[in-house]
Each structure stands twice: as structure tokens, then as C-alpha cells.
Amino acid sequence: MDLGILGKVAIVTGGASGIGAATVRLLAQEGVRVAVWDIAVTETVGAEMIQSVDVTSLTAVEAAWRETEAQLGPVEILVHAAAIGSGHFGFPFTRVPVSAWEKVLHVNILGMVHVAHVAGPAMQSRGAGVIVFLSSVAGQMGSQTDPPYSASKAANINFAQCMAKDLAASGVRVNSVCPGMVKTPLNESVWKSWHDQQPPEKRQSYADWAAAKIHQVIPLRRWQQPNDIAAMIVFLCSARASEVTGQTINVDGGCVMHS
């Protein structure tokens, strides 16, 4: 299937690992020229350009955008996957110190705002572009595992819808993708924060903890893989999804089912 994105330029924030890295690889396979923005610079398969970018700094995002376009050309695709968890197990929510909220909200909400304020007007001025934000089913369910992360992802979904409405008349599409249970460093950090707060007799290995959680909350009863999420992201970036905007797409094995 021709996705109609051959030769386009894309930025993937958080593209050095996990779902972001899988997205970079799949975009590159479709002939997209990809720039990776990540706080941790590592070699990423398929990336033509790798930059160390702190999305919590608007100045840094603006500078990185200029450098990307100078080297690769006008950016037509933005995938924003950069995010963090609190590092605390939040059940009940009072177990998460208030101080832990600040960094999560700064990275996950203001980071999104910064890339939006740079990418949105640039794409709007050209009358074309696609933005996909990586959110989470936690943003739809009020997940108790990590309340700061859950709240920030709900904000991501809402703001993406605001952007989609604002930019639609200019031909710019904005969507969100929500993974379910994916084996990534962020997912493993959730297990670790739970594990470290349990008495020794209740602790489980990451594999056992994840297997039980998948059995409880994922109807398909299997992990979602980074490539599963990346495939949906790449589709939404493509000409095949030209009529899709303002949507929240779950790739979650059935975790969230709306009646």
C-alpha cells in the first residue's frame, strides 16, 4: 500500500527508544526523512538527523526546528512521543508526593505545548501538515498506577482536540494515539515503582507482574508491541488518513472499549 509520504520530512520527539524509535524505523521504511529529537542522544535506526532537545525549553524547541528544516527541509510530519512518568506508584494518589507532579506536568504538558506552538504555526502557514501525539489509555481511564502521568495524558488528548479544531481550516491534521500495555522503559519503570513499595512477600518479577496485569485489563491478553503502535502512527501520518483529524485512536488490545 502506497502511503503517499515518500520523501517527506518528519520529526519524532522521544525517538531514541521505545515507541518513538519504532516509529522512526517505520517512517524510514516508507521513505520519510526523519529527525530524532530526544533528551538522550543515541543512535536510532532510520534517522537522518539526531538532536539533543529538551522539550521543556521553548527556546530549545525553536532552535531545533530551525536546524532540522535547514538540514532536511520543511517539516511536514511531527510525532510527539517524548514523555515521562513520576517514578512513584500512585495507589492511593496521596502516595505520590506533590513535588513529583511538577516535573511530569512540565515535560508531558508544557513539552507538548512547546512543540505545538512551533510546529502548528509553521504548518498552518504552509497549508499542510500532520501532527500525532502519543498519549495513553491512562489518560482516558483515570489510571491509579501513576496519577500525574494519567492526568498529563488526559491533558494531551484534550489539547490535541483543541489544536485539531484550530488548524483544520489550514489543512493541518492532529490526532492522538493511545497505547495499552507496551513493553517499554516507561512501562518497566511503573513496575519498579510498584515493586519497591511492596513488602518482600508480595513482590513479583516484572514478567509476572505484567502477565497478571495483561490478564486483568487487556481482553486480547497479550502485550501490544512498539511496532503495533508505530504502525498506527505512521498510518495517521499518511495520505491514506487524509480525512482523519481530532481523533483519539486506541491501540490497546481492547483495554478501553467505549459503548
Q: Which residues are catalytic?
A: 149
Distances (CA, A) of 223 to 71, 127, 180: 38, 38, 8
Cell numbers standing for residue 106? 512540565
In the sheet that holds 129-134, the strands lie side by side as 47-52, 33-38, 9-13, 77-80, 129-134, 172-179, 248-251
- For residue 167, the surrounding DSSP H or E stretch is helix 147-167
CB-based contact 249:176 (threshold 8 Å): yes
The residue among 173, 188, 258, 177 whose CA lies nearest residue 223 is 188
Task: Output the nine-digit C-alpha cell for 181.
Answer: 500495555
